[in-house]
Amino acid sequence: MSKYLSISTKAPEGFEKEKTKEKTEDLILKLRDLQAVLFAESKRSVLIILQGIDASGKDGTVKHVFTGVNPMGCNVHSFKAPTLEDSSHDFLYRVHSYAPAKGMIEIFNRSHYEDILVPSVHKLLSESKIKKRYDYINSFEHLLKDSGTIIFKFYLHISKEEQTERFKERKTNPEKEWKYQPEDIAESKHWDDYMEVYEDIFDKCSQEIPWTIVPADQNWYRNYFIAKTLVETLKELNMKYPERG
């Protein structure tokens, strides 16, 4: 397997579940405080991109990691299949309109990378057109960065075995049954193809704004890892509340 997805999907040895969950709660409080300053200062914005194979935990990440964030300063957008309106424009049209304003956190549950993944796996576009999309995405993200947006790109890395278990749970757990989609099972048969395309994405779209591979088989470690990454990076910005007057 490749240099990216050869890393373990599980927490490193030495991490205890309950202690790690306690640390995560502390990090969530710190993230809440940092978001408050970001909103008040209103000098830059934050874009958080969550990508991963079906059932990798994107919804759960939003629910748990951002539970303490003020809704006034945070938006979440889930990108599904393009609508007819979307398809009548360039492929970044629907994405750019959700880019975060200064002071805001925007979370993309899936993102513009779906416009490389799906066409590549299902051969919907020529290789030359897909190659151009890599360039357009890099330029788009550089534009956002140059405009004051801090971009986090998280790939939620689960094993094929874990995905199978989560699909089973969706069929048997009444609280998760609503998530079950037969097409997810069909897409899972393209696992190797998706992994190959993700490898290309990590190679070609990491030069200036790198991807972070998140071991995500265990939700408690995934939440800790992402919260810790966000808090450490935002603290380095040395944001300040604006002075009165």
Predicted confidence (pLDDT) per residue in 153-169, tens digit: 999 999 999 999 999 98
* DSSP designation for 178: G
Residue 3 covered by a domain: no
**Domain of residue 152, CATH code:** 3.40.50.300
Among left, alpha and beta (phi > 0; psi -120 to 50; other), residue 242 is: beta
Kindly give the interhelix angle for 17-41 and 219-235, rounded to the nearest 10 degrees: 40
Handedness of CA 99, 205, 138, 54 (dihedral sign): negative
Does any domain span residue 4?
A: no
Please say if the pLDDT value at position 230 is more than 70: yes
pLDDT beyond 70 at 182: yes
As a whole number, mean pLDDT of residues 188-216 equals 96
Q: Is residue 9 part of a domain?
A: no
Q: Is residue 72 part of a domain?
A: yes
Model confidence at 142: pLDDT above 70: yes
Q: Domain containing 64: what range?
A: 17-235
Calpha distance 215→159 (Å, rounded): 9
Residue in the block written with tokens 């397997």: 1
The yes-or-no verdict on residue 2 having pLDDT over 70 is no
Whole-angstrom Cα distance, residue 215 to residue 226? 10
Q: How confident is the model at residue 245 (pLDDT cuts 50, 70, 90)?
A: low
Cα gap 40→34, rounded to integer Å: 10
CA atoms of 153 and 113, how far apart (whole Å): 11
Is residue 46 situated within a structural domain? yes
- Domain annotation covers residue 199: yes
Q: Residue 173: its pLDDT value, please? A: 83
Query: 71: buried, middle or exposed (CB in 10 Å: 19+, 13-18, 0-12)?
Result: exposed
pLDDT at site 106: 98
Q: The sheet that has 45-52: what strands, in order across it?
A: 74-78, 105-109, 45-52, 149-157, 211-215
Whole-number pLDDT of residue 48: 98
Does 187 reside within a domain?
Answer: yes
Please tell me whether the overall predicted TM-score, pTM, comes out greater than 0.85 for this model.
yes
pLDDT in tens, 14-29: 999 999 999 999 999 9
CA quadruple 23, 24, 29, 32: dihedral, nearest 10: 150
- What pLDDT is stored for residue 1 in this prediction? 47
Structural domains counted in the chain = 1
Nearest Cα residue to 55 out of 170, 182, 201? 170
215, containing H or E segment: strand 211-215
Instruction: Tell me the one-letter amino acid at 94.
Output: R
Distance, in Å, from the CA atom of 218 to the CA atom of 57, rounded to the nearest integer, reads 10
Of residues 176 and 92, more confidently modeled: 92
- Which two structure tokens, joined as six digits, stand for 237? 């910005």
Residue 114 is assigned to a structural domain of this protein = yes
**pLDDT, tens digit (0-9, with 9 covering 90-100), for 65-116:** 999 999 999 999 999 999 999 999 999 999 999 999 999 999 999 999 999 9
